Amino acid sequence: MNSQPISSNHDSAIVTGIKTAGIGKKGSKNLEPELLQAIMADLKSHHISPLQLGAFLGGLLMKGLSENEHILKSTFPAGTFDQSRNVCEYLSPEAPQDVKHLCSLLIDKQYLDLNQAHTLGKFLLSELPGDGLRGLAASILRVRYETADEYAGLLQSIEETITPYCYQKTSANKPIIQIAEPFDGVDQSNMITPLVANFLQSLNYTVVSLAGRNSGPKFGNNLLNLAEKLNASFLKTNSDFIHDNPDFGWYIHQKDLSPALDRWVDRRKQIIKRPFLATLERFVNPLKADIIIASAFHPPYGEKMLTVCERAQFPAAIIIRNGIEGTIGFALKRATKILCTKRQTNGDYVRHEFEFDAEQFLNRPVVIEEKVNGPTLDENVRLIREYLNEGQTHNMHFNLRIKSTCEGLRQGIEWIKK
């Protein structure tokens, strides 16, 4: 299939098709007749990018074609859907043969072992031709969920793209905590991460936060936007550690860390749904951190993220579950789950889980959970600076969230240190 111009219309038929058929195990739906006709018209006009077509077919094939959806086959060469390898050949005839084989396995609903996932990951992050299969693989892995081996192999391929300087021994004389916020940011709350980093540094740690461009599907303010607006300190080389820790900790921009990962920001905007990278990009470990702190809003991902951390050989990890979506901030009206893991001297990991009740800790009721309608970057920055300088702001929820989050993380770190 020849490469076609990228559609800039996020409400195009194929995008709606991805959002309908490529949601996941429980949410995917059959395509309505009107949408089917619109997608077929787009296919015949060749206005669909290879990435989008691959993502659409990946979701559709994982869902399984309904009786009505079989009409789509008429827009493809005869026999395209007879075998999985035919689909791969149609999408990306120019792609490497081993990649076509791996994608055929994915279409056939098979799982990849660690080595296979590593090979696939190297292709996904490369600039080799084959965007149709990139879209297909990313979509399938997301829809049917990745296994621990697949996560580990993909993460290994990501680690291999990291800028070499990041592997040098750091000159930091304190243990390193790495904060890994979701890159798609927040759209209903103010972020407190720079102030959490400030608190963690008071516990005698060096704090480094990973940040990068927002690839969606939410397009709220993210940690990169906040750090840049605060004029925070971005690490360029490890020699920067000779300086004292900045107020808001250090930041690493994904484009400096791994140009290969940064290229996926634009790809992900085309395939719409969040693929495996939305999880794994946060778990690269360029500075060999001692503790990683991340969040998982949806229930199944807490345990998965602990496993990713352990397979990535982080000495310890804290995953915040049931907090404020898009951040490591703790909820005030419901208990936040704190999932911890730490490596023992024999190399095995031991886990611990506990709940943090903010109202109980604060010894006061919180009438409602704050929900900000369209939080602005300027106001978020103003609140952070005011809190840093005054120890509080006029925003009660902001103040209480910082106190609760810092205390809950302190308790998690205390368990790790035992």
pLDDT reading at 290 higher than 90: yes
Output the average pLDDT for the chain. Answer: 91
221-278 residue pLDDT tens: 999 999 999 999 998 776 777 678 899 999 999 999 999 999 999 998 888 877 677 7
CA distance 243 to 97: 49
pLDDT reading at 217 higher than 90: no
DSSP string, 312-346: TT-SEEEEEESSSTTSSPPPSSSPEEEEEEEE-TT
Q: Give the DSSP H or E segment for 403.
A: helix 396-417
Give CA 408 to chain center in angstroms: 23
**Percent of the chain with pLDDT strictly greater than 90:** 74
Give me the phi and psi of 337, to 5 degrees please. Answer: -90, 135
CA distance 382 to 276: 34
pLDDT reading at 172 higher than 80: no
Q: Give the DSSP H or E segment for 296.
A: strand 291-296
CB under 8 Å to 167, separation ≥6 — which residues? 286
CA distance 153 to 113: 8
- Sheet hosting strand 250-253, strand order edge to edge: 233-234, 250-253, 206-211, 176-180, 291-296, 316-321, 336-343, 349-356
301-311 residue pLDDT tens: 889 899 999 99
Contact 58, 135 (CB under 8 A): yes
Contact 118, 153 (CB under 8 A): yes
- pTM above the 0.85 mark? yes
Give me the phi and psi of 339, to 5 degrees please. Answer: -105, 125
The whole-number pLDDT of residue 240 equals: 75
The whole-number pLDDT of residue 5 equals: 37
The whole-number pLDDT of residue 279 equals: 79
Q: Which residue(s) pair with 353 in the sheet?
A: 339
At 337, the pLDDT band (50, 70, 90 cuts) reads very high
Angle at 147 between CA 121 and CA 162, to 5 degrees: 30
